[in-house]
Amino acid sequence: MLTIATGNKAVAAAVKELSPDVIAAYPITPQTEIVEQIAEYVTSKELDSRYIPVESEHSAMAACIGASITGARTFTATSSHGLLYMHEMVNWAAGARLPIVMANVNRALGPGWNVWAEHTDAFQERDTGWLQVYVSTVQEAYDTTLMAFRIAEHADVLLPVMVNLDGFLLSHSMQSLDTLKPGDFVPPLHLPHAIDVANPAGYGTLTGPEEHFKFRWEIEQSMRRSRKVIAETEKDFADRFGRSYSVAEEYRFEDADVAVIAMGTLGKEAEVAVDLLRNEGVKAGSLRVRWLRPFPDLDLAGRDIVVIDRDYSFGSGGIIAHSLMARSRIEPYSVIAGLGGQEVTYDDIAGFVRDRRPGSELWFGVSGNV
């Protein structure tokens, strides 16, 4: 059904179609609309889920963990400082191999207090064992939420998935949305290590040096296997519903001499910049990275690369730029732009390409930086 919706409403609509057994909810700007809309679905009987309003984000993830370990399908949503408050439980969810799905509406961290878009909140959780995907449109937010449940609950994965969408730039933007009936696209959840009262077991018990590293290795093995599961899920989604996705979305990339790499809404803005540059005779292209974990293997050889990071790792650099440098052995032009909702237009992005200096870093809007 074709309609108009915000990114927040799109996520809620996808959750409604899959009817999780338990939804834990704590409102925080700018994701509040997600849990408010879900609450309306539950109240109107459109969604038959146990809706648990909790007293904090930490409790929201704890409630999902408690429900998920019984074999229940679970969902929650958060943003920025709420995600940071969850941090302890975020690690527990992955370590316990629980396929929880969470929407995170990317927002800057204080101080100073800022409610606008930035990716640093989720990037700080990148090493917890969660799969992370970043979307750029309302439709993609809906479709990716559906796929996230199937990927997380797959027997070869059994890891939580975080669906990220830019605060306000996407969470509150009205775009067209084509909803669907997923049918058997997401099969019933079977958690092999679910609590069974007939077979009591201990959870979260102490593990010594001779065992603990094996749990870490199992998470890494699942993360590696998730690459295949993601590809299969995206292909099946395209075959069934006609909308195609991949780990990284190319735009006029194949013959490009210079490519812009970005995530989220900046990745879409880069496509407009590419068209502008092409009209000027510059053979530009773009690559929008969708999956941060597992990080994709990208063939970037033979091109100048401009990376736009809406994040920063102090003392190191742009996180995407450094990830690509480590994996692809490239020397990109690293641009730090869009922090705290800083406006970055397609004209700005085209300017980054025109003025690129491979191997150097630019803080957009800051004078006198390297």
Looking at residue 203, its pLDDT comes to: 72
Residue 52: band (very low, low, confident or very high) from pLDDT cuts 50, 70, 90: very high
- Tell me the per-residue pLDDT of 142-175, one tens digit each, with 9 for 90 and over: 999 999 999 999 999 999 999 999 999 999 999 9
Residue 64: band (very low, low, confident or very high) from pLDDT cuts 50, 70, 90: very high
| Packing angle, helices 80-95 and 57-68, rounded to 10 | 30
Greater confidence (74 vs 206) lies with 74
User: Which residues make beta-bridge pairs with 163?
Assistant: 103, 133
CA 314 to chain centre: 22
Mean pLDDT of the region 66-84: 98
Mean pLDDT of the region 266-286: 98
* Both tokens assigned to 105: 């509406």
What topology is assigned to 248-363 in CATH?
Rossmann fold (3.40.50)
Q: What Cα–Cα distance (Å) separates residue 362 from each residue in 140, 235, 335, 344, 369?
A: 30, 37, 5, 14, 7
Domain residue ranges of the chain, discontinuous segments joined by +: 2-241, 248-363
Cα–Cα distance, 100 to 88 (Å, whole number): 15
The answer, yes or no, to whether residue 325 has pLDDT greater than 70, is yes
Looking at residue 369, its pLDDT comes to: 66
Looking at residue 81, its pLDDT comes to: 98
Mean pLDDT of the region 55-76: 97
* Cβ neighbours for 64, distance < 8 A, ≥ 6 positions apart: 22, 24, 74, 75, 76, 93, 98, 100, 102
Cα–Cα distance, 9 to 30 (Å, whole number): 12
Whether 2-241 shares its CATH topology with 248-363 is answered yes
What topology is assigned to 2-241 in CATH?
Rossmann fold (3.40.50)
> What pTM did the predictor assign?
0.97
Instruction: Please state, rounded to an integer, the average pLDDT across all residues of the chain.
Output: 96
Cβ neighbours around 45 below 10 Å, total: 7
